[in-house]
Structure 1
Amino acid sequence: MARHIYPCPLRWSDMDAFGHVNNVVFLRYLEEARIDFMFRLRPRDGSPSFSGGSVVARHEIDYVRPLVHRHEPVIVESWVTRIGAASLTISYEVKDAEGASQVYVRASTVVVPYDLEAGRPRRISAEERSHLQQYLEEADEAALVA
């Protein structure tokens, strides 16, 4: 199982009055990583996979420890924990560096593919499913409770 690695820069405006990255900013970090994962990594053969649009149906986020603003980027690791007929769940860890044990945030997002022309959700295509399965790691229920 592969994980998508996205180096995310911290910006001065991300900081709150206490010098920490503001809690809501982490959702933007997840969004940047998700877009990179779903759209920039799609097949390069002109396939329309993942380009039709998607909507976020749910976010779940656990703040593990405060992230003090600094100049070095954080790493956002992304992987898929569930693929349904018309939705998928992407999980994330925001941490210091690839392979580092210092985790600041654990999160997940339920994404629904969306047909922009028809104005409604759509099913995940076979091509999209094949791509997503490269990143599929079944969710460990015990780890989710901890």
Structure 2
Amino acid sequence: MRHIYRCPLRWADMDAYGHVNNVVFLRYLEEARIDFLFRPDKDFRQGSVVARHEIDYKRQLVHRHRPVDIELWVTQIRAASFTVTYEVKDDDLVYVRASTVIVPFDFEAQRPRRITAEEREFLQEYTDDAEDEDDAEEEAVAA
């Protein structure tokens, strides 16, 4: 399953060339991640920090008044980290593909912590196997 966040675009997001600035995409990913992780029913109240971002810019996103969709899903769950993958898109038009490695963090003790059983269960609901199937198809074609 994937989480979908409808991200509003702002005039201040544009750069001198009239499209959304590349750095602004980090903020869009943050907004989508917060929408995903901090919900009334399930969340990471104990805290988490970002360990790594990777972003592939595919095409320019020009400012408009309607929001852009950000789909996110979990691609890896480890003992003390997990990876969230994103697509910033309109229907089939992808502007950005990205991933973030997130580490659960105990702010009181000031150290990373392990993922709890409840957090793991929540994350597993958003593990998307479609990407693995695409990789398997590509490997079969290449062989």
**Pair 1:20–1:66, CA change in 2 (3 A):** same
Larger radius of gyration: 2
- Is the partner of 2:123 in helix, strand or coil? helix
Report the counterpart of residue 141 of structure 2 in structure 1: none
Task: State the one-letter code of the partner of 2:26.
Answer: L
Residue 23, structure 1, aligned to residue 17, structure 2: no
Alpha-carbon RMSD: 1.5
Q: Which residue number in structure 1 is paired with residue 139 of structure 2?
A: none
Match of 2:31 in 1: 32
Please state whether the residue corresponding to 2:38 is helix, strand or coil: helix
In structure 1, runs of 5+ residues without a counterpart are 44-48
Tell me which residue corresponds to 1:46.
none
1:76 maps to 70
Asked whether the equivalents of residues 6 and 77 of structure 1 are also in contact (C-alpha less than 8 Å), the reply is yes
State the alpha-carbon separation in 2 of the partners of residues 105 and 111 from structure 1. 19
Q: How far, CA to CA, are the matches of 2:111 and 2:14 in structure 1?
A: 37
Measure how far apart 1:42 and its partner are: 4.2
- Do the aligned residues in 2 keep the contact of 1:53 with 1:115 (CA within 8 Å)? yes
Return the alpha-carbon distance in structure 2 between the equivalents of residues 135 and 123 of structure 1: 19
Q: In the TM superposition, what is the alpha-carbon distance from 1:40 to its structure 2 partner?
A: 1.6
Equivalent position of 2:115 in the other structure: 124
Q: 1:41 to 1:87 in 2, by over 3 A?
A: farther
Q: Which SS does the other structure have where 1:40 is aligned?
A: coil
How many positions carry a matched residue from both structures?
134
1:18 & 1:31 partners in 2: Cα distance? 24
CA distance in structure 2 between the aligned counterparts of 1:86 and 1:106, rounded to whole angstroms = 24
Q: Matched residue of 2:19: which SS? A: coil
Flag the 1:60–1:77 CA change in 2: closer, same or farther, 3 A: same
Q: Cα offset for 1:137?
A: 2.0
- What pairs with 1:99-138 in structure 2 (closer than 5 Å)? 100-138=91-129
Select between 33-42 and 23-32 the one with higher mean Cα deviation: 33-42
Q: Quick check: which one's helix share is greater?
A: 2
TM-score by length of 1: 0.87
Distance 1:134 1:41, change over 3 A: farther
Contact 1:5 1:78 in 2 (8 A): yes
Please tell me whether residue 89 in structure 1 is matched to residue 83 in structure 2. Answer: yes
Identity %: 71
